[in-house]
Amino acid sequence: MNFDKNTVIGFVILMVLLFGYIFFTQQQQATLMKEKQRVADSVARVEQLKKKVQDTVALQQPAITKDTVLQSILPGSFTVNASVPEQLTIVENDLMKVTFTNKGGYPKSVELKNYKRYDGKPVVLGGEGHQLVYSINTGDNQSARTSQLNFNVGAVLSEGELQTITYSLSDSAGRLVEHRYKIKKNDYLIEWDVKFAGADRLLTQGILNLNWDIVTHKQEKDLKYEKGQSNIGYQEDGSYDFSAAGNGDDIKLGDKTQWIGVKQQFFNTSMIAGSKYAAAETAWTVPESDSVNHVMEVKSTLKFSLTGLRDATIPLKLYYGPNDYHTLKRYNLGLENHVQLGYGIFAFVKYINRFVIMPVFDFFHQHLASIGIVILLLTFFIRLVISPLTYSSYLSGAKMKVLKPEIEELKKKHGSDQQAMSMEQMKLFKQAGVNPLGGCIPALLQIPIFFALYSFFNANIDLRGESFLWASNLASYDSIAQLPFSIPGYGDHVSLFTLTATLTSLLISIYNTQMTPQQDNPVFKYMIYFFPIMLLFIFNSLPSALTWYYTVSNIVTLVLQFVIQKFIINEEKIHAKIQENKKKPVSKSKWQEKMEQMQQSNQRIQDLQKKTGPKK
């Protein structure tokens, strides 16, 4: 790349685009809005007052037992033995272990067998803070939440590759509530049918308000980064969208909603409606303190209308599993959009990932066990594809180097007259057939590839837990030293792959300055060193897969620059070709003519001002 004024402008544009993209993606780490915090504080105060009242009542009535209180709030024709302990039932397949509870008849937690947390413990979705409950009418002017009722548990039935478990409530009046779950072999999807007999009496106005509360627990080493990669995703009327955790108002959805999902960095829990929701609303908070190992706390209300129906069945599906693109894609529900390979104003890069980067990565991964080597080969492939752009950039740099003596002569001739210098330099470039942006444009065209890889390495679960060289987990930053303090914008650790990426970028800049004309302007002169130094701060907390890719790519760049400029590009031939071009008549585009006219007009004004002198 040559570093004349126009190129530096292009280089600045490149940096702005890159920093803007990274800033845009990292905005998911923003804190909750002040209004949301105010509401949370108000709720906390109310809960505290309520607790004080409950404690006072408990002290005044010591003879009232817990069982008696429970019985008093669950009247009606659904008889409940409150002293019956919670009964847990485990249903397993090859991929997960689902623990169901009879207190509400829902899956309480799901352990994923093929994945471990950062500390080696099993990945568990759901668990503490997770529930799927709704209210039913238990009698005249009496109601209860299903989590307060003891469902009857049926035996786990196996039929081929399908396992079924049923939870039910019934009364003497013929009313029935039934939850039936079906789990297939080698599947992360749980089919859930909610059946009502006497729905017109069980549900007020025929409306079922299903409350889905879920707390996502820390699964990765870097909790702050995991929060930044988490969000609420949903598909409405066939169109996917998401909202970053703590990034705005609560979500309200209409009757065309197909599914809602709580997405962590590499896992998600999603609820799919077989007949679509009548309406849905989701609210969430992100704990500010890292001492609480919670990523998000989400409360959703999913509304279903059964108005006018006596008997009804609501088909639902629950997904508890990894954010693996191929796994989610096979359900044909749009769930693969949880794997965010490009979104927002940069959504176009997801097509580069889906149709180029991912197939090539998968091909190498099928034949090689080491992910680090797969990334190495992926880098070689990408550099091969963009080799025409690379060659064009180096050729432009060689042409600029050949023209360096003539440019220096123009500088001496015109001195501080930048207007005249610019006109003569443009004329020289046109005569020689040199595009002054020839070194910058190819680099700009490569920026979408970097955006695509940035998204790919952040979202690819195949990197999770994979080690390479000194990096223990390519899906997270590598650390060779832990600092006793935190540096603003850098962090509290030292990433060696970040250092190698930064140093190789710096070497490229130094090499280019030696091969191209130098700028007198100190801003332009030192601008080329600014980008590598910024990488030190930007890359330090990013996945080591990305910094490893960037290191390899930089090394390939250095080797190619040396080989092409020393052994492929012949500067004598280029010089001879430029001299031939100068002899040919130069055709000008309308834009070039207008630019020259503007420059000539400005030059005449400057000459006139010099002759007349400054106004008194």
pLDDT(129) > 80: yes
Numbers of helices and strands, H then E, in the chain: 19, 23
13 band by pLDDT with thresholds 50, 70 and 90: low
Distance (Å, rounded) from C-alpha 44 to C-alpha 38? 10
Q: How far apart are CA 269 and CA 127, in angstroms?
A: 12
Which residues lie across from 491 on neighbouring strands?
A: 487
Examine the pLDDT at 182 and tell me if it is beyond 90. yes
CATH number reported for the structural domain that contains residue 278 in this entry? 2.70.98.90
Q: Let me know: does 221 contact 482? Beta carbons within 8 Å.
A: no
Residues 138 and 239 placed together within one structural domain of the fold: yes
- In a shared domain, residues 521 and 569: yes
* Low-confidence winner among 22-31, 457-466, 501-510, 557-566 (lowest mean pLDDT): 22-31
Write down the pLDDT at residue 234: 93
**Which region among 188-202, 203-217, 240-254 has the lowest average model confidence (pLDDT)?**
240-254
**Sole residue written with tokens 């009232």:** 64
Return the pLDDT at 515: 62
- The reported pLDDT for the residue numbered 48 is 58
Per-residue pLDDT for 122 more than 80? yes
Both 356 and 321 in a single domain? no
Mean local confidence (pLDDT), 307-331: 95
For residue 189, give Cα distances in angstroms to 110, 319, 338, 575.
Answer: 11, 5, 15, 67
Label each residue of 492-551 as H, E or C.
EEECHHHHHHHHHHHHHHHHHHHHCCCCCCHHHHHHHHHHHHHHHHHCCCCCHHHHHHHH
- % the chain with pLDDT above 90: 44
Q: Which two tokens stand for residue 11?
A: 């280089």
d(CA 218, CA 236): 28
Q: What is the pLDDT of residue 327?
A: 96
Pairing of strands 231-236, 157-159: unpaired
Torsion, Cα 433 434 437 440, to 10 degrees, reads 120
pLDDT range class, residue 6, cuts 50, 70, 90:
very low
The last residue of a domain, from among 340, 363, 378: 340
Residue 498 has pLDDT above 70, yes or no: yes
Average pLDDT over residues 181-194: 96
Classified as helix, coil or strand, 241 is: strand
Within-domain flag for 603: no
Averaged over 227-248, what is the pLDDT? 82
pLDDT per position as a tens digit, 472-497: 999 999 999 999 998 988 889 999 99
CA torsion sign for 452, 458, 461, 465 is: positive
Domain boundary pick from 308, 340, 372: 340
The pLDDT of residue 400: 75
Higher pLDDT, 21 or 63: 21
Q: Is residue 332 in some structural domain?
A: yes
Same domain, 129 and 211: yes
**Residues 326 and 361 both lie in one domain:** no
Mean pLDDT of the region 590-602: 66
**For the ranges 88-97, 336-345, 556-565, the one whose mean pLDDT is highest:** 88-97
Q: Kindly state whether residues 334 and 426 are assigned to the same domain.
A: no
Predicted confidence at residue 569, as pLDDT, reads 72
Instruction: Say whether pLDDT at 582 is over 80.
Output: no
Which of 310, 340, 370 is where one domain is finished?
Answer: 340
pLDDT confidence of residue 592: 60
Q: How many domains are there within the chain? A: 2
Predicted local confidence at residue 15, as pLDDT:
57
> Average pLDDT in the 66-72 region?
39
According to the model, what pLDDT value does residue 519 have?
Answer: 54
* 522: region left, alpha or beta (phi > 0 left; psi from -120 to 50 alpha): alpha
Say how many C-beta atoms besides its own lie within 10 A of residue 225's C-beta: 20
| Span 430-450, pLDDT tens digits | 777 777 666 666 667 778 888
Residue 65 has pLDDT above 60, yes or no: no
pLDDT(376) > 90 = yes
pLDDT at 562 over 80: yes
Residue 41 falls inside a structural domain: no
Q: What is the pLDDT of residue 3?
A: 39
Helix (H, G, I), strand (E, B) or coil at 301: strand
How far is 270 from 261, CA to CA, in rounded Å?
Answer: 4
pLDDT at 82: 54
**For residue 324, is it within any domain?**
yes
Residue 44 lies in a domain: no
Q: Which amino acid is at 85?
A: P
Mean pLDDT of 233-254: 80
Q: What is the mean pLDDT of residues 121-135?
A: 93
In this structure, are 316 and 363 located in the same domain? Answer: no
Average pLDDT taken over every residue of the chain:
81
Query: SS3 string of 107-132?
Result: EEEEEEEEEECCCCCEEEEECCCCEE
- 361 vs 228, higher pLDDT: 361
Residues 373 and 522 grouped into a single domain? yes
Q: Is there a single domain that holds both residue 398 and residue 529?
A: yes
Q: What is the pLDDT at residue 524? A: 59
User: How high is the pLDDT of residue 60?
Assistant: 43
Specify whether 301 is located in the same domain as 360. Answer: no
Note down the domain range covering 354.
5-27+349-582
- The arithmetic mean of pLDDT across residues 409-414, rounded, is 77
The amino acid that residue 265 corresponds to is Q
- pLDDT at residue 378, as a whole number: 96
In this structure, the answer to whether residues 390 and 322 fall within a common structural domain is no
User: Are 380 and 311 within one domain?
Assistant: no
Per-residue pLDDT at 380 exceeds 90: yes
